[in-house]
Structure 1
């Protein structure tokens, strides 16, 4: 499965993507508003989980590598995991810092949402963003998500408790 947009190609994660995946989970500019720097073993376990084949309705996350089509450069990853709510997915994305501000997160997320809606009739999506991660909030809003809840002191990063912002998108009309 490969998705394409005007500027990007999204392809499934493979074993050769370990350096990208590791960099995304260790670069302070990427993770500062997402999570504490994880151990290599934790990142490896997460990577291995995302290498498993994805299928609709399964519990394996869909993880796609975002590639800049004109240069072939790897930009980051995007995808979703099954939510506890049937026919609902939780979306996520991480991009390398030198690709921030180019609209790639929005463009790739729209492609993933469109794919899930069109091909798999997924109609509900959620996302959780740490307060202060303004860039991610803007991406979600551009993709039609709405902030539905703020959960104070929900997540600790660097010993500081942050409020989680919960976003929601319902596309029962199966269009984006």
Structure 2
């Protein structure tokens, strides 16, 4: 599996991507509105679960490493997990690549690929209250805010609402 957009290429995560995965799960600028910093054992377990080959019948996450097409620099990860035919999407990018449109570009390419090649029609995403950058990426990619669940998630001892987004591909 390889997804290519104008400036990016996305390919399944592999053992050689451990450093990137670890960095994305420990950098305070990346995780501040996502989750508390996990332990090394939690990160390793999450990483190992992402290495398992993915198919439409899988219950684990499809995880793709996002790289710049021109430089081959690895800049983040993106993927989804299917639950009853709905693909829950997620993404993390290194801070130096925030604000460059890479989140929107990679998500749009992934949505297009997963719709055309895998037949996925419905998507969801959960964003922690205050994660404005991720919400902009989602809305730019056709997601709409479906509901807000107050006090749903705790980060750093503070409760935040979950913003639940949905997207349905309209077949014409």
Structure 2 gap segments, 5+ residues each = none
TM-score by length of 2: 0.98
Match of 2:156 in 1: 158
Cα-Cα RMSD: 0.9
Asked whether the equivalents of residues 53 and 60 of structure 1 are also in contact (C-alpha less than 8 Å), the reply is no
Gaps of 5+ in 1: none
2:142 maps to which of 141, 144, 168: 144
Deviations 1:35-55 (A, max 9, x none): 000000000000000000000
Supply the distance in 1 between the matched residues of 2:30 and 2:164 (Cα, whole angstroms): 20
What SS does the aligned partner of 2:120 have? coil
Kindly report structure 1 stretches of 4+ aligned residues shifted beyond 4 Å.
none
Per the TM alignment, residue 134 of structure 1 is displaced from its structure 2 partner at its CA by 0.2
1:56 deviation in Å?
1.0
Is the contact made by 1:151 and 1:165 (CA closer than 8 Å) also made in structure 2?
yes
Cα displacement string for residues 64-100 of structure 1 (whole angstroms, at most 9, x for unaligned residues): 00001111111100000122xx221100000000000
Q: How does 1:93-104 map to 2 (within 5 A)?
A: 93-104=91-102
For residues 57 and 143 of structure 1, what CA distance do their matches in structure 2 show? 25
